[in-house]
Amino acid sequence: MAHVHVILNQKGGVGKSTLAVNLAAVTADVLGGAPDAGQPPVVAVSIDPQGSAVWWSERVGDGLPFDFVQAHDDLAGLAALSRIPSAQHVFVDTPGWLDLAEDDGADPLGKGAAADALRAVLSNATDVIVPVEPEPLGFQPTQRTVERVVKPRGLPFRVVINNWDPRDGKADLEQTRAFVEGQGWPLARTVVRHYKLHTRASADGLVVTQYGANRVALQAREDFFRLALEVGLAAIPKPARKPRTKNAKNAKKKVTA
């Protein structure tokens, strides 16, 4: 079964596509298995009908180190993401959607194709990654996302601060951390910093593992490797359980005696 990581925040422009594509890239870099060799272990899926990720992946072209699928209208496929043969990790890029229904206890995602796609994906999710930018404007939509969409489904989640520019100082960063921790939400220690390279990457047709070898590029890349390490993306899959024979039981007893 593949792990399905959904990158979600009601707020637009917080880095959902950037995180989905680049977490897929670093995970694929570590796990190996180029898509053209068949059976790639990492798949990125976009359910954003107008998303930038598909355009981005097309610009990267043959060098894309993972499989990319645009699937906003494939509900059956979305509900079966964890069963993609060969995949170990699936990253789902979601749209920034504007309105959630009134808080009347009903499903806040409401009606429509985008809501159906999101429901299908969430029904299949292993966990949710919630990017936020270090600015108070994003707090309310993030709160609605976590409290009304993620938590009621009982999904494990983690908030990740993205696009922090160290040149802006630490005030906004600290305020954002305090907000997230004040809500009692798990916060990644890794902060994905702002780099011009990331902003240009989609137009340049690059994912983070394809950046150059200069200092800035290495720093930009480091944030994604750190984040992947922190959220355990390269965890060793559990070995298939062998049927226990009588002898195997005895052997185990001897070793532990």
Q: Which positions lie near Mg ion, rule CB under 5 A?
A: 16-17
Q: Work out whether 15 is an interface residue with ligand ATP (CB under 6 A).
A: yes
Q: Work out whether 18 is an interface residue with ligand ATP (CB under 6 A).
A: yes
Q: DSSP string of 86-126?
A: T-SEEEEE------PPPSSSS-TT-SSHHHHHHHHHHTT-S
In the complex, what is the shortest distance from the CB of residue 102 to ligand ATP, in angstroms, rounded to a whole number?
22
Give the CA distances from residue 250 to residues 172, 239, 246, in Å, rounded to whole numbers and listed in that order: 60, 21, 6
In the complex, what is the shortest distance from the CB of residue 27 to ligand ATP, in angstroms, rounded to a whole number?
17
Name the one range near ligand ATP by CB under 6 A: 12-20, 71-79, 153-161, 210-218.
12-20
The span from the CA of 161 to the CA of 140, in Å, is 15
Helix, strand or coil, per DSSP, at residue 21: helix
Interactions with ligand ATP, residue window 132-171 (CB under 6 A): 162-163
Helix, strand or coil, per DSSP, at residue 187: strand
Closest CA to 126 of 69, 96, 83, 171: 83
The DSSP letter of residue 34 is -
Q: Work out whether 195 is an interface residue with ligand ATP (CB under 6 A).
A: yes
Q: Work out whether 13 is an interface residue with ligand ATP (CB under 6 A).
A: yes
Residue of this chain nearest to Mg ion (CB atom): 17
Q: Applying CB under 6 A, which of residues 25, 64, 192, 207 lies at the interface with ligand ATP?
A: 192
The residues that touch ligand ATP, with contacts defined as CB under 6 A, are: 12-18, 48, 51-52, 95-96, 162-163, 192, 194-195, 198-199
